[in-house]
Amino acid sequence: MTTYRTRRHLGVVTLLLLVLAAALGPSPSSAADGDWWDPVARPAPDSGTGVTGEPFGGTGPTGEVRGFVDAHNHIMSNEAFGGRLICGKAFSDKGIADALKDCPEHYPDGSLAIFDFITNGGDGRHDPVGWPTFADWPAHDSLTHQQNYYAWIERAWRGGQRVLVNDLVTNGVICSVYFFKDRGCDEMTSIRLQAKLTYDMQAYIDGMYGGPGKGWFRIVTDSAQAREVIEQGKLAVVLGVETSEPFGCKQVLDVAQCDRADIDAGLDELHALGVRSMFLCHKFDNALCGVRFDSGALGTAINVGQFLSTGTFWRTEKCAGSQHDNPIGLASAPGAEKRLPEGVSVPAYDEDARCNVRGLTELGEYAVRGMMERDMMLEIDHMSVKATGRVLDIFEAESYPGVLSSHSWMDLDWTERVYGLGGFVAQYMHGSEGFVAEADRTGALRDKYGVGYGYGTDMNGVGGWPAPRGASAPNPVTYPFRSVDGGSVLDRQRTGERTWDLNTDGAAHYGLVPDWIEDIRRVGGQDVVDDLFRGAESYLDTWGATERHRAAANLAEGAAATASSAEWNPFTSYAPGRAVDGDRGTRWASGWSDDQWLGIDLGATHRVGRVTLDWERAYGRAYRIEVSTDGTDWRTVWSTASGDGGLDTAVFTPASARHLRVRFLDRGTDWGYSLHEVAVRAR
């Protein structure tokens, strides 16, 4: 992780909980004869946007879209966790007074705002009144109050944002241990409700503009539709999912609580809802994958929750490569640890064992491939490095570009592999100084791959947002200021009796995203903002390439195979043909010695440029790939002396071959060589 301000996440707060046992209808506004971006009938009273000027539309001179992308937001998380943890709504048919009001238990002074004082420190006391005074919320460090009111999102759109990913989110553990709730804790039920309400919000905004399809908030389900929306100058909204037990796939004592049928049904349902990206695990190890740890006392608390939820603590091992998970740390969390059964304690961890032993499970791999079949994009943030490495191996084997890192929660050493696949990277909404420092660190990679940059606000995601730099800080935001495209002018944002200023209030709500971008410009210069302004195009490039992807034919599947040897077993065949039968449940295994080979006859001469070896545990450390047109004259097209097992993909200059041979030179284990599958492709 980066060294700037530590962020807190939904899962961090999850286990912190273990430390503790006037309706106004819409009326016509000014706009019957106004500009296209002005609603025909806005509710009155309502929030202002503080923006004048026409939202830019169209594309650049070469056809690319322009604008910012928020790759990670949670508009409807007030409906998650039992419905009483995030207070306030993104919209209400009854008006702003109903939408922007505190949870009932926060009255009269926040004394029962338990989640608030756990996450924000102190005693949680605050003025609960929202509309019209907003004395204490929303605020950059208030993690339990609505930040995504529709008019604040409207200001961000008017300020240049053109793509917003709304991650439908919840966590059954938070819901189950939180004292206040008005609904059940089933995660998929909450996801369905949040999807419905996102469509309801679209209809609500459409109603202000004269009917279906006329509003600026447009839910899109493919990249071409997103481009059309942006061409019109509107905001393309993409649905994603971030939850801990997708499809009910939790694990208890390492036993999966779901099966392949659950995964297929769940993916089909999410796709039908319009979901196009998702996380497979988040904070707790589940039946699909292991997670990237949290650190310190909070990590200890989450580890307690891991045990209470799954029956097992996190388990660590030495990392195989340069990437590593966050250190768990040895700090105690007494309140959380009291919840453990008598005689059970959090284990100690070796400082040099930084990686989760749990990677991508067989069910997780099935889910990954199911997402690929449905042209969905996979979020790798929150996955353990072991799980992430396997995902990237799978994607590289298939040349699949649909990989996202949306809010700085992967090992940053994965960045170039993500770009190399054609994936997309966004940084968490850190303060401007930290954001600029990280953007500068990866700027050369963006130049190399010709990509833009994104941000992930994670608003309503219990993460914490940029604090004010202060009015006397160097290069403060000066109001009013122009949008990046130059077509709009933004003044301080006002809602009711409260006016927000980024310099003194920080990023208190979504309407201050344009102000934060202006702060980045003043702190870091125009180059970083230019990269961000190319972000929407790069995100859509990744999405479009994902939709267009079709795996090249596997020339080896079903081909004739021979080998130097095959391990004998009276019950199971390990014949060479098992490595090309299209079934990962079978395998070829050699004798237990070096200098082995596996040969494949492709049946005809083809152009060959990519070979994938899916190893069983007995892998080759050193081996080479040879090709021949006649089976007699061979030439080496690729070799390695540093194989590490797993899924290896060799990419080389395409060559003509009917015959392909893998020569194994040095074993990585005491056994022989063993392959589940070998795939041979033209590219």
Report the pLDDT value the prediction gives residue 9, as an integer from 0 to 100: 41
Region for residue 450 given its phi and psi (left: phi exceeds 0; alpha: psi -120 to 50; beta: otherwise): left
Question: Does residue 14 surpass a pLDDT of 60?
Answer: no
Query: What mean pLDDT comes out for the span 11-23?
Result: 34
Query: What mean pLDDT comes out for the span 209-228?
Result: 97
Residue range 560-682 forms a domain whose CATH class is mainly beta
Report the pLDDT value the prediction gives residue 299, as an integer from 0 to 100: 82
Distance from C-alpha of 77 to C-alpha of 58, rounded to nearest angstrom:
32
- pLDDT tens digits for range 607-658: 999 999 999 999 999 999 999 999 999 999 999 999 999 999 999 999 999 9
Question: Does residue 260 surpass a pLDDT of 80?
Answer: yes
Where along the chain do its domains lie? 68-84+150-283+359-548, 291-357, 560-682
Question: Does residue 345 surpass a pLDDT of 90?
Answer: yes
Regarding pTM above 0.85, the answer is yes
Distance from C-alpha of 225 to C-alpha of 247, rounded to nearest angstrom:
28
67 Cβ contact partners less than 8 Å away, ≥ 6 residues apart: 56, 160, 161, 162, 163, 230, 533, 535, 536
Burial degree of 449 (CB within 10 A; 0-12, 13-18, 19+): middle
Both tokens assigned to 189: 């039920």
Report the pLDDT value the prediction gives residue 551, as an integer from 0 to 100: 87
Phi, psi angle pair for 657, to nearest 5°: -160, 135
Question: Does residue 217 surpass a pLDDT of 50?
Answer: yes
Report the pLDDT value the prediction gives residue 315, as an integer from 0 to 100: 96
Report the pLDDT value the prediction gives residue 26, as an integer from 0 to 100: 35
- pLDDT tens digits for range 507-548: 999 999 999 999 999 999 999 999 999 999 999 999 999 999
Question: Does residue 388 surpass a pLDDT of 50?
Answer: yes
Report the pLDDT value the prediction gives residue 517, as an integer from 0 to 100: 98
> Out of 122-131, 201-210, 279-288, which region has the weakest mean confidence (pLDDT)?
122-131
Region for residue 594 given its phi and psi (left: phi exceeds 0; alpha: psi -120 to 50; beta: otherwise): beta
> Out of 83-97, 286-300, 554-568, which region has the weakest mean confidence (pLDDT)?
286-300
Query: What mean pLDDT comes out for the span 369-386?
Result: 97
Report the pLDDT value the prediction gives residue 332, as an integer from 0 to 100: 83
- pLDDT tens digits for range 301-328: 888 888 988 999 999 999 988 999 998 8
Question: Does residue 589 surpass a pLDDT of 90?
Answer: yes
Higher model confidence: residue 121 or residue 32?
121
Q: In this structure, what is the dihedral angle of CA atoms 77, 82, 83, 85, given to the nearest 10 degrees? A: -70
Report the pLDDT value the prediction gives residue 20, as an integer from 0 to 100: 32
* Neighbouring-strand partners of residue 354: none
Report the pLDDT value the prediction gives residue 33, as an integer from 0 to 100: 58
Confidence of residue 112 (pLDDT cuts 50, 70, 90): confident
Report the pLDDT value the prediction gives residue 119, as an integer from 0 to 100: 59
Q: Output the average pLDDT for the chain.
A: 92
- What DSSP letter does each residue of 374-388 carry, written as one string? TT-EEE-TTB-HHHH
Query: What mean pLDDT comes out for the span 180-202?
Result: 95
* Neighbouring-strand partners of residue 165: 238
Confidence of residue 451 (pLDDT cuts 50, 70, 90): very high
Report the pLDDT value the prediction gives residue 302, as an integer from 0 to 100: 82
Answer yes or no: are the C-beta atoms of 204 and 133 closer than 8 Å. Answer: no
Confidence of residue 3 (pLDDT cuts 50, 70, 90): very low
Residue 288 CA, distance from chain mean position: 15
Question: Does residue 364 surpass a pLDDT of 70?
Answer: yes
Report the pLDDT value the prediction gives residue 122, as an integer from 0 to 100: 61
Q: In this structure, what is the dihedral angle of CA atoms 635, 639, 645, 647, given to the nearest 10 degrees? A: -70
511: DSSP letter: G
Report the pLDDT value the prediction gives residue 22, as an integer from 0 to 100: 26
- What DSSP letter does each residue of 517-565 carry, written as one string? HHHHHHHH-HHHHHHHHTHHHHHHHHHHHHHH--PPP-TTTT-EEEES-
Most confident of 20-24, 81-85, 391-395: 391-395
Report the pLDDT value the prediction gives residue 69, as an integer from 0 to 100: 98
Higher model confidence: residue 33 or residue 288?
288
Answer yes or no: are the C-beta atoms of 326 and 420 closer than 8 Å. Answer: no
Q: How far is CA 17 from CA 5, 63, 297, 329, 596, in A?
A: 22, 49, 13, 19, 57
Report the pLDDT value the prediction gives residue 47, as an integer from 0 to 100: 98
Question: Does residue 170 surpass a pLDDT of 80?
Answer: yes
Confidence of residue 278 (pLDDT cuts 50, 70, 90): very high
Report the pLDDT value the prediction gives residue 124, as an integer from 0 to 100: 73
Helix (H, G, I), strand (E, B) or coil at 188: helix
CATH of domain 68-84+150-283+359-548: 3.20.20.140
Radius of gyration from C-alpha coordinates of the chain: 27
